[in-house]
Amino acid sequence: MITHIVMFKLHAEAEGKNRQENAQKIKDLLEALPSEIEALKKIEVGINFNSTPAAYDLVLTTLHNDEAGLKEYAAHPAHLEVLEFIKKVISDRKVVDYIS
């Protein structure tokens, strides 16, 4: 299995919404993807409540059978559509992909 983890820092305000509203929108959009993307075996999206400066605002964890599945997910039109919104509201992201 491949585990894909992405952490996002969001702008305080973007697209007419505050950080919390955009975090919730991202969560909702991402959690709708499994019904559209077969290669997405599991998804978990968490909104941070830790207020320390080192904390990121949102974390995404997905599971895929193999690297081909991760690539299929990454290139899927439904994922790319969500990604377009995410790019508008984030200031930074970190990613880790590993074999489990």
Average pLDDT of the residues in 76-80? 98
Largest CA distance in the chain: 39
Tokens 């439904």, residue located? 78
Query: Which residue intervals of the chain are DSSP H helices?
Result: 19-31, 67-75, 77-89
Domain architecture of the chain: domains with CATH: 2-95 (3.30.70.100)
Evaluated on CA atoms 10, 2, 77, 29, the torsion sign reads negative
- How large a percentage of the chain has pLDDT more than 70? 100
Average pLDDT of the residues in 39-63? 97
Average pLDDT of the residues in 59-77? 98
Q: Closest Cα to residue 23, out of 52, 55, 70?
A: 55
| Beta strand pairing call for 13-14 and 2-10 | unpaired
Structural tokens at position 19: 């950080």
